Amino acid sequence: MRFILIFLTILLLFTCGDYGYIQETKQIQTESFLSFKGDLEGVLVNIDGEKEFVPEANQDDFSDKYIYKITPGTHRIKVYKNNTLIIDEKFYIGNQETKEIIVR
């Protein structure tokens, strides 16, 4: 009888503990990326009418050296080559996505 009482007490203590499945969620950073390929000589990029920069070509798909960070959402990109507008595009980019811009 004493053994059953001790066993039930131990069983009760184990069932009162928080030993269930634990789920953990991590938030990824909210950023997106632009990658440029092609003939970028004399190219100027304008994003949303605010940021202007001269891009460098991303030589391979595994290098992040020439990947540019932008915020997720809707953007408008204008690409000029030798002062001539060659790309005028409005696009949506999601979180952790990369948009590849090919300049010909």
Reported as type and span, the H/E element at residue 16 is helix 2-16
* Strand segments (E) across 1-104: 32-38, 43-47, 51-53, 67-70, 73-81, 84-93, 98-103
Domain count within the chain: 1
**Domain with 70 in it:** 30-103
Query: What CATH number corresponds to the domain at position 60?
Result: 2.60.40
**Any domain includes 7:** no
Extract the tokens encoding 43.
């190219």
Residue 73 confidence (pLDDT): 94
**Any domain includes 24:** no
Residue 40 confidence (pLDDT): 87
**Any domain includes 18:** no
Residue 93 confidence (pLDDT): 95
Q: With 60 as the cut, is the pLDDT of residue 62 above it?
A: no
**Any domain includes 21:** no
**Any domain includes 15:** no
pTM over 0.85: no
Please give the average per-residue pLDDT across 51-79, as a whole number: 82
Please give the average per-residue pLDDT across 62-87, as a whole number: 88
**Any domain includes 23:** no
Extract the tokens encoding 15.
């069932």
Cβ 80 vs Cβ 43: under 8 Å: yes
User: Using CA atoms, how far apart are residues 2 and 10, in angstroms rounded to an integer?
Assistant: 12
**Any domain includes 67:** yes
